[in-house]
Structure 1
Amino acid sequence: MSDWNKAIIEEFRANEGKVGGQFEHTNLLLLHTKGTKSGLERINPVAYFTDGNRYVVIASKGGADTDPDWYRNLLADSDVSVEVGTEQFPAVAAVPSEPERTTLYEKMEAINPGFSEYKHKTSRVIPVVTLSRK
């Protein structure tokens, strides 16, 4: 785990899911996946919004040309765990197909305009993931 993510996770847990700085006005959750190679638990802070009873996250990796590791991990094993605020619960990850993927991505862009920038930085189609409680 990077020092960057470790600091965000510590702040998240110390402040009931709230993080300051550049993430002060961003809804963050902690996504727990199982590493595809190591089998070890991996925890990543990820921006989200809710769509009905689902949590929606974007595998943007800041507009990089490769998918984030957490995305590859949940493709291999869709059983994940999610921390929101002070609550942690098991969930199932799913990757919506078009046109739902685009609709959900556009909702995130409306909430957080930085995601518009990310899609222009890369030639890949940035995946969208829904997380549903088990």
Structure 2
Amino acid sequence: MGVRSTTTDIGMKAMNAVHRIVLAVSGGRVGRKLGRMDVVELHTKGRSSGKVRSTMLTAPILDPERIVLVASKGGNDAHPQWYRNLCAEPDVEITVNDTRRSFRARTATATEKSELWPTITAAYPGYARYQSKTRRDIPVVICEPT
């Protein structure tokens, strides 16, 4: 893993910690939305450790049939750890507004991504900038209830 990727990982972990503190201190009144996106907590099984790992993420699409996540890592050239974990074990849990539910996660096909991308970038234009910063195709993850 390169210096840039390691630095990004550390920054993301710090932001997650701060986000959890803000939610706790505000009793959930602050931090449930970021711009037009809902904030969710994704729970995956570590692909090496087998331990449950949790990360706070934004969901540009959240409806009863699915939650859509973007594995952008801020436009870094490496996939985020949470994405690598769910590729290894697609049965995940997601907490939305204090309700934790089971989902099956999968990477959107190229066709699905192209259909979803305008809605995703309308919710947060930064995703388009992230895609332009990296050579990797940023995965869109579709999580469907189990």
Q: Give unmatched runs, 5+ long, in structure 1.
A: none
Q: Is the 8 A contact 1:11 1:19 kept in 2?
A: yes
Question: What's the CA shift for 1:75?
Answer: 0.4
Runs of 4+ aligned structure 1 residues displaced above 2 Å come to 1-4, 9-14, 22-26
Change (3 A) 1:70 1:56: same
Aligned length, in residue pairs: 132
In structure 2, the residue matched to 1:89 is: 101
- Asked if the contact 1:65/1:124 (under 8 Å) is kept, the reply is yes
Compute the displacement of 1:61 (Å). 0.3
Pick the aligned partner of 2:80 from 60, 65, 68: 68
* Cross-structure match for 1:32: 43
Q: TM-score, normalised by structure 1?
A: 0.88
The alignment yields a C-alpha RMSD, in angstroms, of: 2.1
Structure number with higher helix proportion: 2
Please give the TM-score of this superposition, normalised by the length of structure 2: 0.81
The offset of 1:85, in angstroms, is 0.8
Give the SS at the match of 1:99: helix
CA distance change for structure 1 residues 67 and 107 in 2, over 3 Å: closer, same or farther? same
Unaligned stretches of 5+ residues in structure 2: 1-9
